[in-house]
Structure formats: structure tokens, C-alpha cells
Structure 1
Amino acid sequence: MMSEKNRLHWVTAVIELLKTLKEAIIPLLVIVVANGIGRERSGNFWLDNLTILIFGAFVVFTAVAGFVKWKRFVYWFEDGELRIEHGLFVKKKRYIPFERIQSVDYTEGIFHRPFGLVKVKIETAGNSSVLEGAEADLTAVTRAEADRVSSVISEAKRRRRAGVQEVQEDGTEAVAVLPAEEPEEEAKVLFRMGRKEIFLLATFSGRIGIIFSGIAIFLSQFADILPFDVIYDEVVAFIRFGVFMVAVAVLAVMLVGWVLSVAWTYLGFYGFTVSFDGDDLFISRGLLEKKRVTVPLKRIQAVRVSENPFQKLLGYVSVKVHSAGGSAKEGGAAIGLFPLVKKREVNGLLSELFPDIETSGELKRIPVKSRPFYYRLDFIWVIPLTAASGYFLFPYGLLALLIIPLIILLGLWQHRSAGWAVRDRQLTVRWRDFTLHTVYVFRKRVQSMQEHQTIFQRRRNVATVTAAFKSGVMPSKAPIRHIDEADADLLMDWYDPRNRAQTPASVEGTPAAEGE
């Protein structure tokens, strides 16, 4: 049955115009500033105002393109599909079967909220291109219409799951929908992030570096017109005031960057809420731009719990889930489930969300004989670097020798923190770079498992096993480094389908010192 064809809200044309202008703002500013400031007037109107005319023509063209998209874009439901038609000179049609749709996400931008509108993003199981975004975007529709689209898709999928196969007279099978309809289960709120956690998240995050990098990239666009000679002279004159003034200036700049980082994080994670209804996860967040992401539980491949030293001091961890499918452009691979949560609460939250997961068992330690492997390879680049520094920068270059004990201590820390365990169908892997990571993944979600052994490892009868699981469009890996050969073979046997009946239900050992 075909439903009525629907159009997007007229705000779509405005949003498309502003979106294109935002993406082209830096090149346009460079053109206007570089060719319009300090240029001598020739008396020719067209030549003197060329950059303004180019800018105006671009704006007009973009506005017309946005209007055409709004006017020619229609969508409707027909024969169990969401159908979309758009285009002026080249008419394009897209048919998306309901059973392929994995998630329906909402976004409320600053231009949506005054009109009570949302952007609806529809993703499917086959929507996995690195360059593509969502399978379909409804740029601006009312919230009631968005809920109607979501409910139609959800109801069709639910009725299909509730259907039974009937054999028709011609021998083909058809789905017969059961007349009884069960009410949909309401989403249960599992987690809310408070203001304190948002503030701490901003402090722990690396967004201050992104802010400074963005400023540097922006300034680099004006390298041809900035008076660097004058700026250099001013900086030299400022440095002459003394080290104290320079330190105060640096601290002031860092403070401004930190304030901007906190504001950015607060706006992005305000009202962060996780809820679920048994089949899907719903993650909502944002103040100026509200977003709601839907993650089907069946697409989740692994759970990663991370803890850096700063989080450990305050008793917090962060949790991400790795989801199959989605688009890399939308960041659909590793999804922040709990960006910052109390460590004592995380096991309870995970067990409520994933009842089959085991998070409290002990892990098997890495053997003592493997300890040198955790820092030996770093000496390949550290020793030549320290030697060159000591020779060319003598005597201050000798301070580079302090790197060697630091690397040894880091390697010992990584060795002491690492561990692993297999329990029936679940693999648990813990390792540390600077942050401690613990991954929980079920055997059926492991895409591949590889055993690797170098000539040096062979001498000590150790090997490295790497488990790969799907994360978006690319695999993610959990390394189990420098374990006994027998344990490596046991892991490979545990994964091998031919040997699963003979594999021990669990392998446990001395607990890894996760907090050290």
C-alpha cells in the first residue's frame, strides 16, 4: 500500500545554504581578504568588485541549490519500503526495505529547535562506506512526523518478526501478520551524566589540543597577508620583559583554551542519557544541538572499558561499545556508551545491559619471562636518539639519557597491568599503552584470531595473539602480547570451530594488577 508523498520543511533550504557556506567559509575568506584588502582601485566597477561578485554569485547558487533540494525531495512508504525521490535534471530514486533499516537517529540543530523540527538519519546494514554518510537523511521534519516515520518502521519490523510463514496455492511462502499486537516496551533510562562528570570529562579530554590546532590551521590560511615580521618583532620585545611575563602569558592562553574546551564539552554532552528497550540503545545528548542515536544491541560486537591515570585518581572509567556497520563519516564505529562513569558502578550497568557478559572474573597474568619484551623494542630508536643528543648537544643533551629508565618503568607498568581470560564463549583482554584498556568480546563476534611469534619470542617460548572484531567499517584489535606458547595455542583452539567441544570452559589465573 502506498502512503501519501511527504515533503521536507522549508527550513531545509536555509540549512543547506548555511551548511555549504560553513564548509566553504575559509576559502571564501581567503579570496575576499587576499584580493579585497589594500588593493588599489582601477576605476573599473567589475574588476574592483570581482571578489564580492564571486562571493555573491556563490551564495545565490547555493541558495538556489538548497531551494531545489527542498522542492524536489519527497518520501513515502510503499510495499514495505521507505522510498525517496529527489533531483531536478537527474531524478534519483532510493528504495530502502524496512528490514534493512538498523537505526533511526534524531538531531535537533539550532535552526531546527525554533520551529520544533528534527533531522532524521536512517542507517541500514549495508551502509558501510567510508565516504558515505547515512543511507537517507530527512534534513528537516516536524518531531511528530519523525516519530511517525520511526513508528512505521518499528511497527513493520515488529509485525514481520511476529509473522508466520503460510504456503499459498502456488507453492510460494508469504508472511502472515498475526492480528494480536503487543504494546511496545518503553525505553528504560540506564544512565545519566551529571554536570560534575561533564566538567571532569572536559578536563580529561584532549579537546584543548584540537582547539589550538584549529586556531593554527585558521591562521595558516592567512599566511600571505599576515605581517609576520612585525609580529616577530613584537614577540621578541615582549620576551625581553622577562620569564615571568612570558609564563603568565602562556598560562593565560592555556586557561582560555581550557575554558573553551570545557564550554565545548558541556554543550556537546549536556543531558547525556542512555536508555534501552530490550532491542535498542538510545543515546541522547547536546544543548544547542540535541542528538539521539539508536544502536541496535545485536550490532554491538565488543565492549571496551578504558581508564587513564587521571580518571583512576578520581575513581572513574569510560566505556565504549564497538558497533558493526554504520559509516565512518558519522563516527559509527566506537560509540561512547558511558563517557565518564564511577568505576564501582560500571560492572552493574554493563550486566544490566548485557546479561551474559562476565566482568568480575580474574585474569591470567603475563609470564615474568616476557617482561623484557615490553620495553626492549623501544631501545631501537631510544639509544640512537640519546646518543645523538649527547654528542651534538653536549652537555645538556646528556639529559636525554633519562628517557631510558622512564621507558623501562613504562614497560614494567604495561607488563604488570596486562592480562587475559577465556570463559566459555567470552574473551577478555586487558592491556595498557598509557591508558588501561579492557575489552570484552564474545567468540561469535571475533572476526579473526592470529598468532604471531618472532625469532626472539621463540627462544623464550612465548607468542602474541591478536583478536580482531568488527568496529564500523574497519576491524579493531585486542592484543594479547608475549604469553606462553601453550596459552597461545589454547586461545587458537578456543577460537577454532573444530576444537570448541574440547576447549576448556574457562582459563583463569593470577589476577592482573589493573590498578598498578
Structure 2
Amino acid sequence: MSRAKRYHPLVMLLAIWNLGKNAIYFFVFLFVLKAGSDAAWVKYGRLALLVVAGFSLLSILWSWSTRRYQLDDTSFRLYQGVFVKSKRVIPFSKIQNINRQTTLFHRIFKVTAIRFETGMEGEDAAVVFRVICYAEADRLEERVAGPVKREDALSTAGDDEETAAVEHGNIRDSKRTIHFSPTRKDLIKASFTSLSFLILIPALFSLYSKADDFFDLDEQAQGVLAALMSSWWTAAAVFVLLSAVSVVLGIAVTFVRYGGFELSSDAERIYIVKGMIERTAFSIAKERVQGVEVTQSLMKRLLGLAEVRLITAGGEGEDKRDVNSLYPFLPVRHAYRLVSELLPSYEISSEMSPLPRASLGISLVGSGWIWISLVALSIPWLPFIPDVPVFGAAWWWIASAGLLIWAMVRNILNHFNTAYAIHGRFLQFRTGGLTSRLFIGKREKIIEVKVTRGVLQRRWGLASVHIVNRARPVLHHKLPDIPAAWGQAFYAWYAGRMQEIRTE
């Protein structure tokens, strides 16, 4: 067992940097913009800011000096505290994902950050090193992931040692296979598919609102807008300029986010690396993948693109979906091929059963009853609803009729886009109307199932299947209005998992 170590001292500088970013707004407001103010609230605000900053600095120093980590053969051991000591033990077997992130701060100091994620809940569910040198990160990752098998290491004379080249915080192993790396053409296509060129609009509004907090920009903005709209050629020039800037900015954002993207794997793990300024490296053991989801938005369906996402039990926050994604703009055929290459144990069937006609009837009846109920409840309030120009008092009936038509069109699209299949120990189904989602899962990875039948479903011989997969948060899927006989067969199929599951 290695000795307990302190965390990297640069973790204090990173914490101070984050503290400064959070406090800079208040500092500029109180000490710069209100520099000549003698108001009592300004004086007390300055004092409070300095006191909070001082306590925060002491807390950062205390936290670093009282925390240590240690590794044994099977687990992390994390120590914290002096007077009241705490100890956490995280077995390597509980680690689901390994996620590296190298921000601009890390690249300046030639360090990285690494996060070992478990499937547990709570703030202590992950082992996090916010600052760590590359060599130590490689050592920790190798200890957690286990020794890599190299079959040809002994077959080549003179190759007694294999070196691992570290590039942007990611270990490059000679046995890895690179499956996908986008070209410039792919990145430009992705920038238009993701509509990232529209980022200029919210960016301008955000900049304007923040500047308006310090300066009264309303009158100046009205004057500038009036000058720009004084003639058609100035308005056209401004429109062309903003459009060009939006396109360039959208392409730049896509290149920064997905530049250097690389999807690779070895015999045991899958590796995803992306980013130019801020580098993110994600790895997961293949046996830890709980399922695969192939998603297509309306625009992606029109362009023949798809996003493949790995469902895992680790990770949290809004960035998890981006981290687990195998590049969001893959051609559909390429996406399915990648799933087969990365996860040979997963099988995708091209033959799926559509929903019966009765399911369309029950969904349309349900939408009709909901619409009738809403109309009946709102009738007593119609005299109090104000009129709308052009449509007058009839606008509410037009809006409600449009809502009914939209609900029925949505149900029809969902019906014809939904399909399901069981082949061997695999379950797959596709749902969605405008957005299509294909889920592929193994029987042994599904932790709970439920088959339900409502009143109308019993009358028409239908049922609904509810599936729960281990994820974070727990992932729920529902396959509504399938034939009741298939629901019974599904339940019997799931019961066979007892022969496949393994206890840790």
C-alpha cells in the first residue's frame, strides 16, 4: 500500500482563481463603479466582500492541508480533517467512468483534472482530483482500469518496454483502434446542423444586459438603432455583417468544442477525447455500458445524421450527455457500424415490429378526451377572456382546435415511428415523432420491468411496458400500447436474466 499523499498544491491556486471569477462582478461594482460613493450600504458591502474573501482563502488553505489520498490494491482511501477525521473507501470495482478534463488553466501549468465516477448518489459518489500531474493521473487510471493486456509484447525481441505517450492529458496505447475522427468538412457540417451560428444572438443579449446593469444603455441603443435603420443599405450591410459574424462564430465554437475529437477503443475500454482549448477525455469499461441510445432530431433525420450515446451509471450534471456522446453528428449507417465495432457484444436487429392499429385508436381517443375536458373546464371562463385583434373572441376556439390537431398529428407520428423487437438477450425499441430515439439494451443490464394494462388497453388487447436501467439519474423507458401477448412474452423473457447476471 502506498503512503497517503497530499493533493497537488496548485489545487489552491485553482480554487483562488474560481473565487476570483465569482467575486469579480461584486469587486468591480463596489470598488470601481462606486469608488466615489459614501453610501452606508456600499461601505458595508465592501467590508463584507473582503471578510468573505478572507474566510474563503483560509478555507482553501485549510482544506488542502487536511486532505490526503491513498491507494491500495483494490480501492481509494480518502482522508479529511484534523480534529474530526473522516475516511472514505471507494473500491475500484465501483468505478464506472473515468473522465479527464484539461482546461486552459491546466494547460498553462501542464497539469490536468481527473474524475473517477461511481454509480452511487450524493456529493461523495466520485473521487475527484481537480489538479493533478499527468504522470500521477496515468498511474491512478492504470490502477483503476487494471493492467492492459498486450499479447504481442513478448513476441517482439528487443521491445522489453512499451512507452505510453501522453497527449493533452490522454494516454495513447499502442493497442487502441481509432474508429472515428472528424474532418474539417465534418466539423463545418456539424456547425450548421447544430445551429451553433445562432449563438451570436443570445451572446449579444447577454452582453447588453450585463452592460446595462452598470450603464444606462437604453437611450444610446435607441439612437444607434435609429441611425442604422435610417436607410435600406445601412440596414442591409448590418444584416450581412451580423450574418457573416454569426457563421464564423458558429464554426469557431464547433471547432473549439469538437476539434481534436477522437473515438477509440481497446479490448476492454472505450475512449472519447475532444476539445481544442479545453480538453476532455472520457473512458469507460465496455462491460459497464448499460445500454446504447441512438437519437435523431428533425433536422438530423432530414440530413441522415444521428447521435449515439452510451448509457452509463456514472456522471452527473448537464455535461454528462455531451461527455457520453460518441459525436452527435454521425451518418446513420456509420453510427450503427460504430456501435458494432465498439461493443461487439451488442447486436442491432433491422427487423422490428410496428405498433398495432388499435394503439393509434387508443392514443387518439385519449387526446380527444383530454381536449374535451379542457374545453369543458374553460367554458365558464370564456366571458372573461379578452379579445384578440383580427380574430376577436374566436381566437380561443381557433387556438384550441389547433392544439387538438397538433396533438393528433403528434400521436400519428409517434405511432408510425414506434417499433420494438427482442432478439436473443437484447431488447430494442424506437419511439418518438419528430425526434426519434432508438434504445438497445441487454437483458442483464435492465434492473426493473413492469407491464401495465389500463381500462381501454384491456378492452383492446394492449399493454404498456416500463423499463428501468441503471444510470444517473435512473433511466426510465416506456413502450406504450403494445400487444398484450407480446407484453407477457417480454415478462417471461426478462425472467431468464437470472441465468446471466453476476454478483460482484
Q: Is the pair's TM-score, using the shorter chain for normalization, greater than 0.5?
A: yes
Q: Distance in 1 between matches of 2:323 and 2:6?
A: 33
From 178, 194, 207, the equivalent of 2:183 is 194
In the alignment, what sits opposite 1:321? Answer: 310
Structure 1's 273 and 232: CA in aligned 2 closer, same or farther, altered over 3 A?
A: closer
> Comparing 402-411 with 115-124, which one deviates more in the overlay?
402-411
In the alignment, what sits opposite 2:488? Answer: 489
**3-state secondary structure, aligned to 1:337:** coil
Do the aligned residues in 1 keep the contact of 2:461 with 2:484 (CA within 8 Å)? yes
Do the aligned residues in 2 keep the contact of 1:328 with 1:472 (CA within 8 Å)? no
Do the aligned residues in 2 keep the contact of 1:122 with 1:137 (CA within 8 Å)? yes
From 89, 99, 107, the equivalent of 1:105 is 99
Do the aligned residues in 2 keep the contact of 1:98 with 1:156 (CA within 8 Å)? no
In the alignment, what sits opposite 2:354? Answer: 365
Do the aligned residues in 2 keep the contact of 1:123 with 1:135 (CA within 8 Å)? yes
In the alignment, what sits opposite 2:471? Answer: 471
Q: CA deviation at 1:192?
A: 1.7
Letter of the 1:3 partner, please give it: S
Q: TM-score, normalised by structure 2?
A: 0.76
**3-state secondary structure, aligned to 2:104:** coil
**3-state secondary structure, aligned to 2:470:** strand
Do the aligned residues in 2 keep the contact of 1:103 with 1:123 (CA within 8 Å)? yes
Q: CA deviation at 1:215?
A: 7.4
Q: CA deviation at 1:395?
A: 4.4
Letter of the 1:198 partner, please give it: L
- Structure 2 gaps, min length 5: 150-159, 163-172, 500-504
In the alignment, what sits opposite 2:411? Answer: 411
Structure 1's 456 and 406: CA in aligned 2 closer, same or farther, altered over 3 A?
A: same
Q: CA deviation at 1:241?
A: 6.7
Alignment of 1:259-278 (within 5 A): 260-278=249-267
In the alignment, what sits opposite 2:112? Answer: 118
Q: CA deviation at 1:227?
A: 5.0
Q: CA deviation at 1:318?
A: 0.8
**3-state secondary structure, aligned to 1:416:** helix
Q: Distance in 1 between matches of 2:223 and 2:317?
A: 44
In the alignment, what sits opposite 1:308? Answer: 297
From 127, 134, 137, the equivalent of 1:136 is 127
Q: CA deviation at 1:91?
A: 4.5
Q: Is 1:335 aligned to residue 334 of structure 2?
A: no
In the alignment, what sits opposite 1:292? Answer: 281
Q: Distance in 1 between matches of 2:490 and 2:240?
A: 51
Structure 1's 449 and 268: CA in aligned 2 closer, same or farther, altered over 3 A?
A: same
Q: CA deviation at 1:399?
A: 5.5
Do the aligned residues in 2 keep the contact of 1:347 with 1:360 (CA within 8 Å)? no
Q: CA deviation at 1:425?
A: 1.1
Counting aligned pairs with the same residue, the percent is: 22
> Comparing 386-395 with 405-414, which one deviates more in the overlay?
386-395
Q: CA deviation at 1:89?
A: 5.9
Q: Is 1:454 aligned to residue 454 of structure 2?
A: yes
- Structure 1 gaps, min length 5: 159-180, 501-516
In the alignment, what sits opposite 2:502? Answer: none
**3-state secondary structure, aligned to 2:329:** strand
Q: Distance in 1 between matches of 2:240 and 2:365?
A: 37
> How far does the alpha carbon of each residue in 1:338-391 deviate from its partner, in whole angstroms, 9 at most, with x for none?
322111222222112222333242111111232234444444349749997999
Letter of the 2:430 partner, please give it: R
In the alignment, what sits opposite 2:169? Answer: none
In the alignment, what sits opposite 1:167? Answer: none
> Comparing 204-213 with 397-406, which one deviates more in the overlay?
204-213
Q: Distance in 1 between matches of 2:81 and 2:316?
A: 23
**3-state secondary structure, aligned to 1:306:** strand
Q: Distance in 2 between matches of 1:113 and 1:413?
A: 48
**3-state secondary structure, aligned to 1:457:** helix
Letter of the 2:176 partner, please give it: A
> Comparing 90-99 with 139-148, which one deviates more in the overlay?
90-99
In the alignment, what sits opposite 1:29? Answer: 25
Q: Distance in 2 between matches of 1:498 and 1:330?
A: 32
Structure 1's 145 and 242: CA in aligned 2 closer, same or farther, altered over 3 A?
A: same
Q: Is 1:83 aligned to residue 83 of structure 2?
A: no
Alignment of 1:389-468 (within 5 A): 392-393=387-388, 395-396=390-391, 397=395, 400=399, 401-468=401-468
Q: Distance in 2 between matches of 1:498 and 1:225?
A: 63
Q: Distance in 2 between matches of 1:147 and 1:236?
A: 55
Do the aligned residues in 1 keep the contact of 2:421 with 2:429 (CA within 8 Å)? yes
Q: CA deviation at 1:325?
A: 3.6
Structure 1's 242 and 475: CA in aligned 2 closer, same or farther, altered over 3 A?
A: farther
Structural RMSD (CA): 4.4
Q: Distance in 1 between matches of 2:198 and 2:451?
A: 37
Q: Is 1:146 aligned to residue 140 of structure 2?
A: no
**3-state secondary structure, aligned to 2:437:** strand
**3-state secondary structure, aligned to 2:450:** strand
Alignment of 1:160-309 (within 5 A): 186-205=175-194, 227=216, 230=219, 260-309=249-298
**3-state secondary structure, aligned to 1:65:** helix
Letter of the 1:337 partner, please give it: L
Q: CA deviation at 1:493?
A: 2.8
Letter of the 1:312 partner, please give it: R
Q: CA deviation at 1:336?
A: 0.8
From 81, 96, 106, the equivalent of 2:90 is 96
Q: CA deviation at 1:304?
A: 0.8
Q: CA deviation at 1:206?
A: 6.9
Do the aligned residues in 2 keep the contact of 1:80 with 1:156 (CA within 8 Å)? no
**3-state secondary structure, aligned to 1:339:** coil
> How far does the alpha carbon of each residue in 1:236-256 deviate from its partner, in whole angstroms, 9 at most, with x for none?
979997999999989987876
Alignment of 1:383-394 (within 5 A): 384=375, 392-393=387-388
**3-state secondary structure, aligned to 1:392:** coil
Q: CA deviation at 1:152?
A: 3.3
> How far does the alpha carbon of each residue in 1:50-96 deviate from its partner, in whole angstroms, 9 at most, with x for none?
44444444444434433444444433334644333344665544333
Letter of the 2:131 partner, please give it: A
Count of equivalent residues? 469
Do the aligned residues in 2 keep the contact of 1:371 with 1:412 (CA within 8 Å)? yes
